[in-house]
Structure 1
């Protein structure tokens, strides 16, 4: 390991020791289940949105067995507006597998974690590292961005994870186990708080003098990042339908979901539309409404019987 890499380790982990956010899933008494839940929730979702939902989940379901004892529909309902609600189904399935196959205890190795429904390479590595203190190469978007700028001189990492990025991440890992865990957490935090995708706070960066991207004059990205559309998409319609089902106390008739009823009125709360009114205010084409509902049923996020449509 060369001197430059050692300096990166010292600077970034030293910064983390002072500036790390105090998050409940980082506390010493947080269970491995709490870490797993946080990692699934944090996928493509910022901490500020995850924190209250995570706290509610851990109060209600402090163990995998507690979640597995409830229906998957309750998991989807409690997921609220975190987005990508299939993650709730995956967590429920993982809780069932942990309860049935691992005696109710989250497995501690990368290979065993990978056997859980909905757990991929990143999540398995992160839980093994952060819950069990194992030396694993954790690579998320924040980490990739720090590596790209500080080491390779690129403004952004590649659009998708490459073999070269994984090799670099492994090469940068400290040899010591505890040092590797601290490094993973520190680089991730630096990417989340300082080395952000837009408007990075370079003046506050602990490796400003070592950053290859800064030394190169902060060149533009080598590709044009594509924004993720929302308005008018199937995802928007699906999300609005899910809001109706989460708030419903009984199955909702298919016709009510697909066709706006007469005289929809705003909710009395702060003048906001109730979920059903919000759904139909999108004025989505009928074909899109039907496609969205069919997709929710196919993905097991909703179920339909003679009474109507509800959470599974």
Structure 2
């Protein structure tokens, strides 16, 4: 792989994302990575700016209540992330004197921080040359090196494979960011723009004639539905709870979805996940 050609492409095409601004610290990077999980960047950026103005560091965020952060999270989706983030900030204050650690193992020990996020913080906040492997990077690697579509769940072996790509001359962290951008903008899942890709001349998938996915690969590429799912119903119930100043009766929840069994299942799952609570009157509210 030509590191220089990928970096030159990135120099020309890097998006001016808020958390790429030079003064963004480790807390801002961590926050952006958690928010961006399974959520488009365009939706994340305005919320990220609001949060950084309101909670500029882990100590400030650690003092917020669950209800406050759930309301501020709005419609970013997967709200359990924000409760784990609150626990994470509290542990950063308790165990690390309010400073986001730079060690991958210490980051992995924090609530809600997995392989990708820990390495993204170490790489993009602290300049460590560690493999940062999200879906975009996995897709680029699968096509460029293995000559096939991305299918199946992530595996630990991909960390080692991507680590072998990284230059050891100080350009590794920027190269990691470039690979992610390449997957997001050019080597996309449905319609890759191979004509403008800096890896075109070395891409195993292009060399193989850009073959379509096999039946087995298609079977592994499961598209996650949203409309009509319990996740959609959970979101509607959360909208009611976020918009209410006080606890709401069951009747306020009943109107959001016609299927009583699915509505009840979704509400129960919110209670189980700690995203909602029920008081002694039987009314429902965000956790306090």
Q: Which TM-score band applies after superposition, normalised by the shorter structure?
A: over 0.9
Q: Secondary structure at the match of 2:97?
A: coil
Are 2:288 and 1:295 equivalent residues in the alignment? no
Structure-2 separation of matches of 1:168 and 1:31: 28
TM-score w.r.t. the length of structure 1 is: 0.88
- What does residue 280 of structure 2 align with? 306
Q: Alpha-carbon deviation of 1:151?
A: 1.4
- Taking the aligned partners of 1:303 and 1:235, their CA distance within structure 2 comes to 18
Structure 1 residue runs without a partner (length 5+): 261-278
Of 144, 152, 155, the match for 1:159: 152
Q: CA deviation at 1:174?
A: 1.4
Check the 8 A contact 2:205/2:211 in 1, yes or no. Answer: yes
TM-score in terms of structure 2 length: 0.95
Distance 1:91 1:162 in 2: 24
Question: Who wins on radius of gyration, i.e. which is larger?
Answer: 1
Match of residue 248 from structure 1: 244
In 2, the alpha carbon distance for the partners of 1:55 and 1:286 equals 38
Per-residue deviation, residues 213-254 of structure 1 (Å, max 9, x unmatched): 111111112311211111111101001111111111111112
Instruction: Quote the RMSD (CA, aligned, Å).
Output: 1.2
Determine whether 1:33 maps to 2:27. yes
C-alpha offsets along residues 32-77 of structure 1, whole Å, 9 cap, x if unaligned?
1000000000111111010011111111111111111110121111
How many residue pairs get aligned? The number is 282
Gaps of 5+ in 2: none
| Match of residue 232 from structure 1 | 228
1:80 is matched with: 74
Distance in 2 between residues matched to 1:38 and 1:163, nearest whole Å: 23
Q: Which residue is 2:54 aligned to?
A: 60
1:1-312 pair list within 5 angstroms: 5=1, 7=2, 9-154=3-148, 156-176=149-169, 178-222=170-214, 223-224=217-218, 225-257=221-253, 259-260=254-255, 279-280=256-257, 283=258, 285-306=259-280, 308-312=283-287
Partner Cα separation in structure 2 for residue 81 and residue 101 of structure 1: 31
Aligned counterparts of 2:158 and 2:113: Cα–Cα separation in 1: 21
SS in 1 for 2:235: helix
User: 1:121, CA displacement in angstroms?
Assistant: 0.9
How far apart, CA to CA, are the structure 1 residues paired with 2:51 and 2:155?
Answer: 34
Could you list the structure 1 runs, at least 4 aligned residues long, displaced by more than 3 angstroms after superposition. none
